[in-house]
Each structure stands twice: as C-alpha cells, then as structure tokens.
Chains A and B, each alone.
Chain A
Amino acid sequence: MEPNQLTIHEIKKLLGAREVQPEDVVSALKKRIGAINPKVRAYVRVENTSLDYAKSDSPSGDTLKGIPICLKDNICTAGFNTECCSRILEGFKPPYDATATEKLKDAGALVLETKANMDEFAFGSSTENSFFGPSHNPWNLEYVPGGSSGGVAAAVASDMAIAGLGSDTGGSIRQPASFCGVVGLKPTYGRVSRYGLIAFASSLDQIGPITKDVEDNAILSGVIFGHDSRDSTSAQVEVPDYTKCLGKDIKELKIGIPKEYFVEGIDPEVKKIVDEAVDKIKGLGAQCRQVSLPHTEYAVPVYYIIATAEASSNLARFDAVQYGLRAAKPQGLIDMYKKTRGLGFGEEAKRRIILGTFALSHGYYDAYYMRALKVRTLIRQDFERVFKECDCIITPTSPTAAFKIGEKRDDPLKMYLSDIYTISVNLAGIPGISLPCGFTKKGLPVGLQVLADNFDEAMLFRVAHAYEQATEWHKMKPKL
C-alpha cells in the first residue's frame, strides 16, 4: 500500500515506528495528484507541495505531526489564494490564517499550497457551481462528487489527500462525504471557530473534517474544536478526547428513526441500504424506534430564506474596492459595482443574492425572514423533544446516491432537495456525521447520517465507529 492510501492513525503509527517518513507521504500524494487530479479535478490549485515549504510553517504539535491536511477553498491560508472558487475573489491572498488552519499547523500538520474545489461560495450540492468547473466523483467520473465540499471529499476518496477540512452550511460536508464514500462531520454550531472561514450564512456555517474513517475524524475534531475569542459565536464548551469514544459498544443505546425521512422522494435503493444499516445497528444491541420530527417539511424553504438572506449580506463586501476582481474601465462608482459583481459572481451566487435581498427588503421582512426564524425555532424544538428520549438519530444522508454531472444543473429546486436530510441539522445547530453504509447497483456509495444533541459529538463517534467496525464499507477504494 502506498503512503497516500493510509489514514491519519495509520501514518501516525508508521511515522512513530520510523517505517515511513513525512517525505514519503508528501511525495506519494504529489504523485497521486499528478496522475489523478486532471481526471477528478478535486484540487483547483496545486502550487507548492514541497515538504520544505510545509515544514517551515509547521512548528510544535504532535497530534498531526508530518501529516498533510487539505483545505476547501473558503478556509483562509495566510499568503495563499483563498478564492471560494469565485471569480470575484480572483487572486485574493488573505493576510491571515483561519483559526482552524492555525490549529492544524499548531498540531504539526502540513498545510500544503493546495486548495480543494467547491461550489462558488459553497452555494450548491455538486461543485458544478465552481468558477473552475466541476470535480468528478472518483467512483464514476460521470457523476458529481456532491457539494459544496466536493473537492475535499473527492480528494480524500481518491487518496489525493489523507484528510481535509470542509464547511457545512446545509449539508456541504455530509452530502459529498456520502456521495464519495468517506466520513464527514458537521460539528455543533459554535464548536469550531468560524474566524477565517469566508462566510456563506453566518448562523449556519461550520468547519468540519472529511476523513477516510471515523477514527481519523475523531482525531481531527480534537484538533480543530474549541473556543476562540475571535469568534463571538464560538462556544465555551469543553472538548473531550474523542479517541476514547472509539471501540465502545452501543448496547442499550436508544436510537430514533424519524419517519419523515423515509417518505416520498427517497430512492428505494437508498432506502433499502439504509434499512439494512439500521438492522445492523440493531444487531449491535441498540434499541431503534420510530420518532417524529414534524416540521421537517419546512426545513428547505426556511433554509433558503435564512441562508440566502445572510449570504446576500455577507457577499456585499465584494465590491472591487480593496481586493479581488475589479472590472476594467468602470464609469464611476456604481458602474464599478455593477460591472464587477456582474462579472465576478456566477449564476447561483446571483440567484441567492437576489433571493436574500428580496427576503430582507422593507415590507417583506416579516413575511419571510421573521417567519423563517420562527419556524427555525420549531425545527430546533423537534430535535430537543426527540433527544429527551433518544441518544441519537439515524437517517439517510441524502435521498439519492450521486447524480450525473449536468443532471440537476438547470433545476435549482431539484438540486436544493438533495440536501433535504441535512438542512434541518444546520437549522437546529446540532452535530451530524455521514459515513458509508453501502453501494448502489451502479457502484456509487450511500451514506448513513447519525445525529446527536448539541455538543454530543462523542455520541456520534461512538455509534459511527461501532457501525464502521462491524462493516467493510470504509475499506472500499474507487478504481481509477
């Protein structure tokens, strides 16, 4: 096995035993990227993968010593392009590292000069909205890898990365993890500092790890979680040692299966695979019971009001004044705004800015934004009620496996529905993890989503790890 095919915990062992050198990992990755990236297009930038570069910037820390971690294009890296795969941020090199980037470096990780593909500003579920063009699903290059963190998921699934960080606003970590057969975690809102994550929807965004297995996910979470005084929404809640949650049994755990997640719209093949996974979990001694999350049907419309409203505000700063694109020869100030934003934003970004601007406009605010906030509270209460009687909830991550590139591109509503099982989780703020639980007949991975109460990521790792260890799905590799 090549070093690039290994997991974090495997590399840690080999590095410790001096059976492998950091150079070996980096050069294996470099080789793999050279061979595969032109096909998969998981990375939009591969500038400098030399170890010297990475080393010079990576002091101290042991947890991730010598292990390269890749980043989505919306997580700031000092002096290296962070462009959200948008033309409007062309050439933007932040003068500072995101807190998550800093924490990786402090833990000894190698942050190479690479950036992974994403839908522009994380607006999408397929990476097709990237200015650089779509990434391809390593399991079948005609299919999307999911999105918006599709680049990181595809890189991890195809061994072009050991692990990476994505961001999740409505499913942008979990859905691509599910489509690519890897493990993706959306932490509790407030767990990971958002400082240096270029905002999409501030009240929903969270950075989280995308990894080859649950153990790696627990390790990375331990590194990036924790309070940050630079983010006022970051929580002062203790971070336990998640590796200690691994290997515990799940006997007697009470697991809720929400009936609203298994109705019309779910692909029968996906339903069957998830049902089998639930049976497997029952077989491990957990008690599964049906529960109800009655406001589920409102999640998508509520999300598209709140998320677009916040996005329209967050994206107002891209005005050509200080950084990024400036359209040539503007005739005055207003023309500079119009031309630059007209040229710099893609179609989906424009659609969401217009939608969000409308939702916040005078005379519409109460009917849309205000009302959406109220329903958001109801959705949150649904989960609170269920977690009074359940330790966790299990659902499919997405109603379908990966779809074909171009298939939903012209139908935004259809595209939005592919996040139907992940969106409520962001609205409620709770943590959720997606891990592989089978394959469709076409050979595309299917993901299982586990949800827990606020700040109970330990429960997610415990249940996910128990299931993973009882199955072989995480060991499958795409043939490229």
Chain B
Amino acid sequence: MSKYEAVIGLEVHVHLKTMTKAFCGCSTEFGQPPNSQVCPVCLGLPGSLPVLNHKAFEYAIKVGLALNCQVREYTKFDRKHYFYPDLPKNYQISQYDLPIAAGGFIDINIKQQAVRIGIVRVHLEEDAGKLMHKEDCSLVDFNRTGIPLLEIVSQPDMHSPEEAYEYLTSLKSIIEYLGVSDCDMEKGSLRCDANISLRLKGEKALGVKTELKNMNSFKAVKDALGFEIERQAGLLDEKVKLSQETRLWDAKELKTVSMRTKEGAQDYRYFPEPDLPPFAITKDEIQKIRQGIPELPKEKMLRFMKEYSISEYNARILVADKYDADYAEERLKAWPDEDKKPMANWLIGPVAAIASSSTIKISQVNISPDNLSELIELVEKKQVISNLTGKAVLEEMAATGASALSIIQAKNLAQISDEGVLAKEIDTVIKENAKIVNDFKAGKNNALMFLVGQVMKKTQGKANPKMVQDILRRRLG
C-alpha cells in the first residue's frame, strides 16, 4: 500500500448535438469535406457577429440540472484570448465568472459503495477548428469551429484511476440519457483532461499538480493516471520537487511526456463578450427544461429493481448504457410472468456474453423481445431444451435472426422427456457402469452426476436432465 493519496479532478468537454453551430447557422455534421460548413460568423470574418443558438443553451441547462447543479438565472459569455490558427478570431467565446450551472455532483459506484463526486461548473463555449500538418505547411479545417461545446469541471474528489474511470462512465451515461451529445471520443465529441497531484495520506494540503492531456479513451485516462501516480510517487520518494506542468499521454509508449511548464502559462485576458448581451432565464423556463429531462440512470435502476424485482447488481449493469437499458426494458416487458428474474438473468448472462464476445453493446444483439421470451420459456418453463442447448440456440438466433422454435425443430434439438425412451437409455448406462452404480449405492453422491452425464452423452445432450436424475434415483434407490 502506497503512502501517498492521489487527488484527481477531471475536465470533460462534450459536443452538443445541435443541428447548427453555437453562434451561426452552419451545420454541425461530422465528417464533411474540409471548410464546407462555414460562414462569415464561424470564420470570424471582420464585421461578422455571433448570435446564440438557444438549443445549445437549453442543452447546457439540461446537463446542469441532471448533474444536480444550481442553474444561474443571469448569465453571460466572455472572450478567452489566445493566438492559434485553428481559432479564427484568436479568442474563444466562452464563460468565465458566470457559468450557466455550478455546484453539482454525481454519485458513482465503487465496490458497491456510493461515492459522491462534486461538479464545480458547467459552461458553454465554442469549439475550435482542426489543423492538419503537411510537410511544408499547415492547413486549417474550420468545419468544427463554432460547434457548441460543454465544459464540465469536477471537484478534485477522486483518488484513484478506477474512480476517474467510473466518474467518466457515469457522466457519459447521464449525458447520453439526456440525448444532448453522442459522447463519441473517437469523433472528438467527448474529450477529457485530468489534473492529478499526490500528497501523503492524512495530509490536507494539495501537492503540485500535473495536467494530463491527449487521452483518447476512458481506458487511456485510467492508464495515464496510473502512470502518473507511479511517476510522481517515484519523484516524491526521491525528494525531487515537482513542477506544475502539462503532460501529454503517449498511447504507444504508455507514458506521459512534458508539454509545457507553468512558467509558460497563458493570460487569457477574459472580459465580457460585448457582442452578446448578458441574458436572464426565468425560474419557469428552468422548470420547463427540468420537466424535459428523461429518467436518468440512477432512477431507472431503482425503478428496475422495484418494477421487475431484480437485484441492484443486475439493474446497475442493465441501466449503465441508455440503449442497453431501453433494450432490456423492452424484453423485460415481453416476459409474460410477474417474476422477471429469468429474463434479467438471461440478459445479463448469455445475451451480455454474446455482446462482449463480439465487442458490441447488449443493445446491438439482434434478437427481438418475443423471440428471446420464447427461448427462455422453452428452456425455463417448458423444458423443451436444456440450459446448455438454450445458449447454443441463442447464439444461432443472434446470428440468423431465426426464432428459437424453428432452430430447435430444424436441428432436432428438442429435449427427450419421454419416460419410456429415457428408461431404455438409462438401463443401458446402468449395465455399462456397474462399478459406478455400486459407488453410488455405497453413498457417493457424485457418482449419480456421472451417470446422468453418460445418459446425456448417449442422447446428444437432448435428454431432460431432471427426469434422468429422477429415474436413476428410482432405479437405484
């Protein structure tokens, strides 16, 4: 156990899924030809002026509310200045001292314990463009310039890479539930920077922090934090004084590399954006937006537990992803009985296993609610096929889209529950395994299972195992 405690805060940027950019009418569609979605406003041409996209503003408030923040009734935009070719005005329209929302939290689940992570602020700003470096020049694509970006800053409440990972997963889940962003790190619609410092356990004062950038997945965030904890601990052990710096994660070398130190820190010269007057939002408007917030993961989990009487553990897995939750709920509803456990178990067990083996989401497993329900009935209630056969049929269903019954018939997989047929097979097995039979009679219970296995083998797994057991007991009893 290390003598240090890590202190971690995360800064997450998400693209809001509006039709048009934050301050002009250009499309926000991803992957279009360079500079095909631009106008005088997002190009920052002289004389052009920004006009706020109210949808983006509404989305920002929605996120603020979902993160349990206070939404400000009076807010404004500020200019943040720095020179860079992907920033056409050389200032970014952002928010400084009056962010749209502040002072919230998310509860994350660490080892079955709820841990509360504070949210410092949520603010709206515009994204910059993209640079492409060629051998003898650099090119700028302004398509991304002006896309509404939400910055969500956490309190430094996390103490391990695992907590950071959980926080990101929970945050992403909430934002996806709200339907305001794709949260796709590969497309850059979700980005994360991390601040991390170490201090001796029990110490109150914060250590010297490092800002980590360039992590392209949640796993990269976790790995970078893990690396950084080791690196900083090593230096502290050797009594080396740390310097405040920004470090980049190198995903190939699996290490962080210094980018710049604090001495080079920028003065952004924030001041109120004079082209956008401050604006007020009424309690009623906030209330209206609040009413538009759908059921969030935590509430859905509690409802699943109550409505479908499933365990917290299962419910948490099912609601983690919005699409998975919708998928699960459709199927839980399709299950005809009051007791939904069989369906819940199949979703979390075999269905999830298929998803993970083909690295897709549960919701992408292509089996209709009725088909799944039918299969489970055939296994659990009618016992037409065994559990094992059921899993094989499920895989076949996912691959072909066929129904369980049609697969069972086509492959002649139905369970043998005819006592006459089974008795014949059992008699043969008893004859061929005299020694084992004696063992059982001598009290070795395991011996029975071996005999059942032999019967299953002879019937290519189709014998009804429960019946086989019953008959065997009767014969040998």
Contact = CB atoms under 8 A, between A and B. Distances in A.
A414 to B, nearest CB: 28
A122 B91 CA distance: 21
A195 B23 CA distance: 14
A360 B49 contact: no
A360 B140 contact: no
Interface string B44-66: 11111111100000000000000
Contact of B49 (A89, A194, A318, A361): A194
A290 interface: no
Chain A's interface: helix, strand, loop or mixed, by majority?
Answer: loop
B453 interface: no
A360 B52 contact: no
Given A232-B52, A317-B90, A319-B90, A365 B275 contact: no
B47 A316 contact: no
A55 B114 CA distance: 73
Contacts of B275: 199, 202, 231-233
B45 A232 contact: no
B88 A321 contact: yes
A232 B46 contact: no
Contacts of B271: 309-310, 313, 360, 365, 369
Contacts of B85: 319, 321, 333
B47 A98 contact: yes
Contacts of A331: none
A435 to B, nearest CB: 29
Interface in A69-102: 74, 76, 82, 84, 89, 92, 94-96, 98
Interface in A307-358: 309-310, 312-313, 316-319, 321-323, 333, 337, 357
A231 B43 CA distance: 16
Contact of B47 (A199, A201, A313, A337): A199
A96 B48 CA distance: 9
A25 to B, nearest CB: 28
A13 interface: no
Interface string A101-130: 000000000000000000000000000000
Contacts of B31: none
Contact of A361 (B43, B48, B267): B267
Contacts of A440: none
Given A198-B47, A310-B274, A317 B269 contact: no
Nearest to A84: B46
B88 A317 contact: yes
B47 A230 contact: no
A360 B90 contact: no
Which has the most chain A C-beta neighbours within 10 Å: B44, B47, B90, B140?
B47
A319 B47 contact: no
Contacts of B140: 321
Nearest to A196: B47
Given A232-B49, A333-B85, A317 B44 contact: yes
Interface in B74-104: 79, 81, 83, 85, 88-91
A229 interface: yes
B45 to A, nearest CB: 7
B51 A94 contact: no
Interface string A169-202: 0000000000000000000000000111111011
Interface residues of A, number: 43
Interface string B262-291: 000001011100111100000000000000
Nearest to A201: B274
Contacts of B44: 317
B34 interface: no
B91 A313 contact: yes
A423 B88 CA distance: 31
Given A319-B83, A337-B83, A357 B269 contact: yes
B40 interface: yes
Interface in A198-222: 198-199, 201-203
A316 B51 contact: no
A203 B277 CA distance: 10
Interface string B168-194: 000000000000000000000000000
Contact of A96 (B40, B88, B90, B270): B40
Which has the most chain B C-beta neighbours within 10 Å: A194, A198, A360?
A360
Nearest to B84: A333
B374 to A, nearest CB: 57
Contact of A232 (B48, B79, B90, B277): B277
A76 B49 CA distance: 13
Contacts of B276: 232-233
A421 B81 CA distance: 33
A313 B81 contact: yes
A479 interface: no
A322 B43 CA distance: 9
A98 B81 CA distance: 26
Given A95-B40, A232-B277, A313-B271, A322 B46 contact: no
Contacts of A233: 49, 274-277
A322 B88 contact: yes
A388 interface: no
B48 A323 contact: no
A317 B274 contact: no
Which has the most chain A C-beta neighbours within 10 Å: B45, B49, B88, B140?
B49
Nearest to A203: B274
Which has the most chain A C-beta neighbours within 10 Å: B269, B270, B276?
B269
Interface in B335-378: none
Given A232-B276, A362-B267, A197 B90 contact: no
Contacts of A323: 45
Contacts of B46: 76, 82, 84, 89, 92, 94, 198-199, 317-318
Contacts of B49: 194-195, 230-233
Given A319-B83, A321-B85, A357-B269, A232 B274 contact: no
A285 to B, nearest CB: 40
Interface in B25-50: 40, 43-50
27 contacts: A84-B46, A92-B46, A94-B40, A95-B40, A95-B45, A96-B40, A195-B48, A196-B47, A197-B47, A199-B47, A202-B275, A230-B51, A231-B275, A232-B49, A232-B277, A233-B275, A310-B271, A318-B46, A319-B83, A319-B85, A319-B90, A322-B88, A337-B83, A360-B269, A360-B271, A361-B269, A369-B271
Interface of A: 74, 76, 82, 84, 89, 92, 94-96, 98, 194-199, 201-203, 229-233, 309-310, 312-313, 316-319, 321-323, 333, 337, 357, 360-362, 365, 369
Closest 6 CB pairs of A and B: A316-B90, A202-B274, A360-B269, A203-B274, A198-B46, A196-B47
Given A96-B45, A232-B49, A310-B274, 7 more contacts: A74-B47, A199-B275, A229-B51, A232-B51, A313-B271, A322-B88, A369-B271
